[in-house]
Structure formats: C-alpha cells, structure tokens
Amino acid sequence: MTHKKKLLLVNPKNIYKKGIFNTDDYSVPPMSLGIMAALTPDHWEIVIRDENLETFQYEPADLVGFTALTSQATRAYELAQLYSKQGIKTVMGGIHATYMSEEALKHVDTVVKGEGESVWPQLIDDFEKGNMQPMYQGELEPLYDSPYPRIDLYPKGYGLGSLQTTRGCPMKCDFCSVHSFNGRKYRYRSVDDVVEEYKMIPQNRMYIVDDDFYGYGKKHAERAKSICRAFIKSGVQKEWYTFCSMNLADDAEAMQLMSEAGCRMVLLGIESELTSQLEASEKITNLKTGVENYEKVYDAFHKAGIAVLGSFIFGLDSDTRETIQARTDYFINSGVDCIQPGMLTPLPGTLTYQNMLKENRISDTNFPEAWNKFTFFNCVIHPKHMTTDEFQELMEEEWKRMFDLKVLKRKYLNTLKSTKNPFAAGWALSTNLKYHNTVFEGHSRDYDYAEVYRQLTSITMKMNDLIPAEGAFHHL
Ligand code: SF4
C-alpha cells in the first residue's frame, strides 16, 4: 500500500500582536486554505494549521502551502525556511505573494499569484510529476459553483465562522487592494451553496468576509436579500457582521432583512469625515452620500437594530495634528458605535503603496522584516505634516482618548438606545473593549471576551426604557 502524500497548509501569525484580529475570539478560519484543501485530490492527506490558534510545531509533510496578508509575510518566510532546509517544497499564495512575487520567490519554491482556485489542481498535478513551476497565475473565475471550503479540516477554536457569498468591488479606493486582487466585477456564489455552507459552519457567530455584502445595483441588492431570506428560512440562527458601504442605508428593506437574518454589526468604510480627504482618496460611495448625511446613515442602521463599526484612516496626506484630533472627537460624538482606527498603511497592491514607494515615503524599507509592522498600528510612512515618531506618539494618545472606558460606556448605552438591540450593542462594545485592551495593556488575548459577551447579551433589560440591569458594567 502506498502512503498518501501529505499537504500541510499554514496560516502564519504576525508576532506583533496588536489589533483585535490577532485575538482568539475575533479569529476566523483562513478560507483560502479551506478552498485549496477542497481542490486537492483525495489521495492526499491534508492538514491545516493556524499559528493564530496554536503554537507552531514542525511536522513532516511532502508539500507545504502558506497564505499571508502583508503583515504575516515575514513569518511565512521564516516557516518556509524550516521546510526548505529539509528539502521540502513550499508554496505561497495570497495578496502579499501576488504583489511581491519576486520577494516571495526568494523564500518559497512556488508562488501563486491572484486567486488560487484556477491553478491549484494544475499545481498539485505538476508537483506529483516532479514538475512544479515557480509561478502560477490565477484567473478571476466565476464563483457560482466554487467548492465549499473544507470546514472539517479547520483547527478548533475560532471565535467566528467565516462565509463568503461574493467577491469583487467596483470602487477603486487608493489605499485598498481588493479591487485589483478580486476584480472590479462582482462574482457571486449560488444562494443555495451559501446557505448550505451557512448551515455547516459550527460557530453560531460569523464574519461574512465579502468585499461588500450588499454591493451596488439592483441585482446585487436582490441577491443579498435572497441570502437573508434563505438564512431566516433555514431555521439556523447565527449572529454575524459584514462589510457594507453607505449606499445600503437607502434600502430599509435590506437592512431589516439583514437584521432578522442575524446581522448585528456592519463594518462601514467611513475613512474620513472630511470631503476633501474622501476626494483625494477616491472614496466615491461616501462622496455620493455626503459627509453631511453620515448621521442619517448611522440612524438608518440603528433603526434596523444594527450597530455601526466605522473604519477610519488616520494619517491621510492632508492630516495634521488638528485634523487627527478632530477625527477622534468626531468618533466620540457621532453615532458610530465602535471604531476600527487604522493608520494609513501602504499595502503592496495599492496605489498608495506605489506612490509612497516612488516618493520615498515608506519609513522602514528593511523588507521582509519591516512587513511585521504593517498592522495598521505602526506608523510605517513619512506623513506629510509631522514626523513618523510624532505621528506614532499622537496616535497612541488618540487611541487612549477614543477607547477611554467612559467613552465606551456612553457608546454602549447609546447603541442600546438607538438599536434597541442588546446583541448589536454587545457586538459593538466587545469590539471597542478589544481595542481598549490592546491600547491600554498592549494585548487583547487575555481578555475574556466570551464571558463579557455572555454577560452583555444575557442582561435582562426593560426594553421600554432601555436601562441595563444592575451589574451590566461590572466587568469594566
Ligand atoms: S475600500 Fe471598500 S469600497 Fe473601496 S475599493 Fe476597497 S473594498 Fe471597495
């Protein structure tokens, strides 16, 4: 009997742990690895390892595959070296390897550029014949009947399940690589497949990882609504959050359906409250809405019982000390329930990266080590109106202001009042608390988020006056 060949698929960890997405309870399975596993022939043994959940331990394999965002790339290269030393072939895919393929090829045997689905079976076949090529270029294929990721192979312990219903975004924001990596045309999975996978996901909380769940245009909107109706009809109840754009706020029916289907929070790319900055970074959707109408957008989500996680960028070219401080004030006083406050980070694959590289404005170019800092929590640029260190210091102060517990308590009560939904308020508060811990204690892993969430969502509330029961804040 011949032994099965072993494929080891690894999601590496950035050892600089800042940011909530480096924490267990916000961790999501690496879907791309699950899909590559699904496309691997049956005569392979497949193991998926995630360093974000478990300490990496060397194990033998015939072929080792890595996926990596830019902030994980350095670690992927380190792990690849362990295998190369043993003469074991390594492959790397994902967004970083796509745009830094020459760099990646110095560390792995093979790079998959673009989406891997269209080339993975060929790569495996070539490997079996001893003929694996250094580079494979994936194409943007229709997603309609793409395979289910091998959920059964994911390690245990993810806080959220992950589900994808569509890929692509027609916008072209300067700081984003989604439109170049996933394309500017929407591609859909079939609603039936999405719902089948929804039912298979073991977690009862999940992140719908779409580039834009609701999207633009009638067809996309109707599809999002069909998915929500199908979730409701399935009888399986899960809570989730997803990325959407401001145009969703004009569709009360869609927001209501999303809410009924378990959506508790939307991640909105607000970026800036200044029109001039939206224009400079080509944030067309927000310009269409108009900054003067932002509060109406937040109100619309709240009315549907959904909290708003606002993603803001700090360090845009026109940002000064004053505008950065004003952005914090804006968050504190606005209807945004929780915030993702990233520093402008020029990720490979973006126009921002190309421009900053040309202008010598990336402050640490000691690559690949420097990629460890590309976490949105380190200043990696020369800002226009201050030094790198000044910007970093300023942001440390601003994070402390925005995640001050007094602010978070007030935000929580406001979310309760506006959404009338303790679950949405729980999602928003827990997101803010994660950042609070990261900012004040330098980590968030030790925070027992699951316990906080249980406490918050089990608070007995008088929904008429929305006063949380005694003890609701004892954890703060
Ligand atoms: S930031 Fe959002 S809207 Fe802009 S291109 Fe990226 S995914 Fe699309």
Which among 372, 429, 366 has a CA at the least distance from the CA of 17?
372
pLDDT value of residue 430: 86
What confidence tier does 20 reach under pLDDT thresholds 50, 70, 90? very low
Please state, for a pLDDT cut of 70, what percent of the chain lies above it: 90
Q: Is 174 part of a structural domain of the chain?
A: yes
Q: Is 299 part of a structural domain of the chain?
A: yes
What is the mean pLDDT of the segment spanning 133-151? 94
pLDDT value of residue 439: 82
Do 123 and 184 sit in the same domain of this protein? no
Higher-confidence residue of 116 and 453: namely: 116
What confidence tier does 1 reach under pLDDT thresholds 50, 70, 90? low
Residue labelled with tokens 């043994």: 45
HEC readout, 151-182: HHHCCCCCCCEEECCEECCCCCCCCCCHHHHC
Q: What number does the ligand 1 atom closest to the CA of 211 have?
A: 7
Q: Is 461 part of a structural domain of the chain?
A: no
What confidence tier does 171 reach under pLDDT thresholds 50, 70, 90? confident
Which among 469, 443, 462, 472 has a CA at the least distance from the CA of 20?
443
Do 213 and 244 sit in the same domain of this protein? yes
Query: To test ligand 1's pocket by mutation, which of 173, 268, 312 has the most ligand atoms within 8 angstroms of CB?
Result: 173
Are 73 and 84 in contact by the 8 Å Cβ rule? The answer is no
Do 92 and 167 sit in the same domain of this protein? no
Q: Is 146 part of a structural domain of the chain?
A: no
CATH number of domain containing 330:
3.80.30.20
29 prior amide bond cis, ω within 30: no
Whether the per-residue pLDDT at 192 is higher than 50: the answer is: yes
CA of 113 to the centre of ligand 1 (A): 20
Query: Is residue 442 left, alpha or beta, with left meaning phi > 0 and alpha meaning psi from -120 to 50?
Result: left
Do 231 and 275 sit in the same domain of this protein? yes
CA of 276 to the centre of ligand 1 (A): 18
Ligand 1 site: residues with CB under 6 angstroms?
A: 169, 171-173, 176, 178-179, 211, 245, 269
pTM: 0.91
CA of 49 to the centre of ligand 1 (A): 30
What confidence tier does 16 reach under pLDDT thresholds 50, 70, 90? low
Do 165 and 106 sit in the same domain of this protein? no
Query: To test ligand 1's pocket by mutation, which of 166, 172, 174, 176 has the most ligand atoms within 8 angstroms of CB?
Result: 176
Q: Is 271 part of a structural domain of the chain?
A: yes
Do 12 and 96 sit in the same domain of this protein? yes
Q: Is 52 part of a structural domain of the chain?
A: yes
**Protein residue with its CA nearest to atom 3 in ligand 1:** 171
What confidence tier does 159 reach under pLDDT thresholds 50, 70, 90? confident
Do 89 and 166 sit in the same domain of this protein? no
What is the mean pLDDT of the segment spanning 125-152? 95
Q: Is 421 part of a structural domain of the chain?
A: no
User: Which residues span the domain enclosing 84?
Assistant: 5-137
CA of 245 to the centre of ligand 1 (A): 8
Whether the per-residue pLDDT at 338 is higher than 70: the answer is: yes
Report the alpha-carbon distance of residue 40 to residue 305 in Å, rounded: 42
Q: Is 449 part of a structural domain of the chain?
A: no
Q: 224-245 pLDDT, tens per residue?
A: 999 999 999 999 999 999 999 9
CA of 31 to the centre of ligand 1 (A): 20
pLDDT value of residue 405: 87
What confidence tier does 451 reach under pLDDT thresholds 50, 70, 90? low
Residue 50, token pair as written in the block: 């995630």
Burial 96-118 (b: 16+ CB within 10 A, else e): bbbbbbebbeebbbbbbbbbbbb
Report how many domains make up the chain: 2
Whether the per-residue pLDDT at 17 is higher than 60: the answer is: no
Q: What number does the ligand 1 atom closest to the CA of 175 have?
A: 1
CA of 380 to the centre of ligand 1 (A): 21
- Centre a 10 Å sphere on the Cβ of residue 367 and count the other Cβ atoms it contains: 15
Whether the per-residue pLDDT at 319 is higher than 50: the answer is: yes
Query: To test ligand 1's pocket by mutation, which of 175, 211, 243 has the most ligand atoms within 8 angstroms of CB?
Result: 211
CATH number of domain containing 100:
3.40.50.280
Averaged pLDDT score across all residues of the chain: 90
Q: 80-100 pLDDT, tens per residue?
A: 999 999 999 999 999 999 999
Q: What number does the ligand 1 atom closest to the CA of 283 have?
A: 4
What confidence tier does 26 reach under pLDDT thresholds 50, 70, 90? low
Distance in Å from the first CA to the final CA of the chain:
60
| For the ranges 144-148, 167-171, 355-359, the one whose mean pLDDT is highest | 355-359
Whether the per-residue pLDDT at 106 is higher than 90: the answer is: yes
Do 168 and 95 sit in the same domain of this protein? no
Q: What number does the ligand 1 atom closest to the CA of 245 have?
A: 3
What is the mean pLDDT of the segment spanning 311-338? 97
Which residues face 313 on adjacent strands?
342
Report the alpha-carbon distance of residue 416 to residue 305 in Å, rounded: 9
Whether the per-residue pLDDT at 169 is higher than 50: the answer is: yes
pLDDT value of residue 2: 65
pLDDT value of residue 175: 87
Do 278 and 238 sit in the same domain of this protein? yes
CA of 217 to the centre of ligand 1 (A): 16
Do 97 and 175 sit in the same domain of this protein? no
Q: 429-448 pLDDT, tens per residue?
A: 988 988 887 787 665 444 45
Residue 256, token pair as written in the block: 């209501």
What confidence tier does 475 reach under pLDDT thresholds 50, 70, 90? very low
Do 104 and 241 sit in the same domain of this protein? no
What confidence tier does 463 reach under pLDDT thresholds 50, 70, 90? very low
Q: What number does the ligand 1 atom closest to the CA of 285 have?
A: 3
CA of 211 to the centre of ligand 1 (A): 7
Do 275 and 333 sit in the same domain of this protein? yes
Whether the per-residue pLDDT at 193 is higher than 50: the answer is: yes
What is the mean pLDDT of the segment spanning 248-252? 97
| For the ranges 136-145, 356-365, 372-381, the one whose mean pLDDT is highest | 356-365
CA of 78 to the centre of ligand 1 (A): 31
CA of 447 to the centre of ligand 1 (A): 31
pLDDT value of residue 445: 42
Whether the per-residue pLDDT at 471 is higher than 60: the answer is: no
Please state, for a pLDDT cut of 90, what percent of the chain lies above it: 78
Q: What number does the ligand 1 atom closest to the CA of 177 have?
A: 6
What is the mean pLDDT of the segment spanning 410-415? 93
Query: To test ligand 1's pocket by mutation, which of 177, 179, 272, 289 has the most ligand atoms within 8 angstroms of CB?
Result: 179
Return the minimum-mean-pLDDT range out of 23-27, 281-285, 395-399.
23-27
Return the minimum-mean-pLDDT range out of 147-156, 189-198, 281-290.
281-290
What is the mean pLDDT of the segment spanning 127-142? 96
What confidence tier does 449 reach under pLDDT thresholds 50, 70, 90? very low
Report the alpha-carbon distance of residue 16 to residue 38 in Å, rounded: 31
Whether the per-residue pLDDT at 344 is higher than 80: the answer is: yes
